[in-house]
Amino acid sequence: MTKIFVTRDIPDEGLKMLRARTDIELKVYGEDKKIPDGILKRSVKGADIILSLLTEKIDSSVMDAAGKQLKMIANYAVGFDNIDLAAAKERGIVVTNTPGPELSEAVAEHAVALIFTLTHRIVETDTFTRAKKYKGWGPKMFLGTDVHGKTLGIIGGGAIGTALARKMHNGFGVKIVYNDIKRNEALEKEVDATYLEKNDLLKKADFVSIHVPLLPSTKHLIGEAELKIMKNTAYLINTSRGPIVDEKALVVALTRGDIAGAGLDVYECEPLIDCDPTDTYELRKCANAVLTPHTASATIEARQAMSRVAAENILAFLDGKTPPNAVKVS
């Protein structure tokens, strides 16, 4: 019998696939909130597999609390920065994530939504209209900017970056430039994208959208120097992981007008904003920022797909195959 502990209830399709197997004993933490660390450590004891969420930090202490039989951590997320990969490797534990077309489409759609919310000033104008301030049409009232014909700089030309490039290029006539650790020729061909060095991309782009995983090498990839290179008419979009952007530097850039605005779905010290336990929320005061609570993949289609992908990884592993989404540890 394989014991699987799921750290929070998730959309059900993958759980049904696991429950259909008679050789699996599935336990799910029942509260709809992040599992407290103490309960996590007690609950994983004896588990062969942990199906974890991105809110759970799975470090060596959790792995050791589970015990030597722990063989796999199946993360319910495309990101895997919540898992100590080196500790997992040392212990021979396989780690998997949940990429896939549904997740890529959902996150790319969210990036599109943030771009248009900023350029068409949707949040500001909605607030204005609800506050009964709309007294009559004006030719210069709430002027935004067109998206059509602009240049989108994609940092991270993988599946999500490619999905966004496709939508923006094919749908809105946007020019695509991108940067990554390696070139993506399929992306270049499909949407006529140009590979640029990071600083050249920052100089050129009207929108900069980040689609890289959080790794030691990508922490603060966008900081004070990068924000200064960006045009003061440009917008920064982050739907990847908060620490990739130096949030303090971003608040300064937004306040000074070094860039035109930011659309953020993730935060450096999430769920805190501005890493500020006193809750003063400098970012929240920036009218040129649009803030969503890490909901870029929160569509029913994407979250069910992630559930199925997590289960497929587990079932492949149990059947002695390499899971389709094993995270490579360098």
Q: Which is nearer to ligand GLV, 95 or 191 (CB)?
A: 95
The answer to the question of residue 297 lying near ligand GLV (CB under 6 A) is yes
Name the segment binding ligand GLV (CB under 6 A); options: 77-85, 111-119, 128-136, 158-166: 77-85
Q: Which residues contact 202 (CB under 8 A, 6 or more apart)?
A: 153, 208, 226, 229, 230
Q: Which of residues 33-62 bind ligand GLV (CB under 6 A)?
A: 54
H-run or E-run covering 264: strand 261-264
Catalytic residues: 241, 270, 294
Q: How far is CA 232 from CA 11, 87, 176, 228, 286, in A?
A: 42, 43, 19, 8, 15
The answer to the question of residue 213 lying near ligand GLV (CB under 6 A) is no
**Binding footprint of ligand GLV, residue count (CB under 6 A):** 5
CB of 213 to ligand GLV, least distance (A): 9
Q: How far is CA 251 from CA 182, 206, 208, in A?
A: 30, 19, 16
Closest CA to 156 of 217, 96, 97: 217
- Residue pair 221/193 in contact by the 8 Å Cβ criterion: no
Name the segment binding ligand GLV (CB under 6 A); options: 5-13, 72-80, 269-277, 282-290: 72-80
Report the SS3 class of residue 92.
coil
Look up residue 18 and give its amino acid: L
DSSP letter at 324 equals T
The answer to the question of residue 144 lying near ligand GLV (CB under 6 A) is no
CB of 162 to ligand GLV, least distance (A): 16
Q: Which is nearer to ligand GLV, 202 or 306 (CB)?
A: 306
Look up residue 110 and give its amino acid: H
DSSP bridge pairs for 152: 176, 207
Name the segment binding ligand GLV (CB under 6 A); options: 71-79, 122-130, 186-194, 222-230: 71-79
CB of 25 to ligand GLV, least distance (A): 26
DSSP bridge pairs for 175: 151
The answer to the question of residue 78 lying near ligand GLV (CB under 6 A) is yes
Among 26, 28, 79, 286, binds ligand GLV (CB under 6 A): 79
Among 24, 70, 77, 290, binds ligand GLV (CB under 6 A): 77
User: Site residues (CB under 6 A) for ligand GLV?
Assistant: 54, 77-79, 297
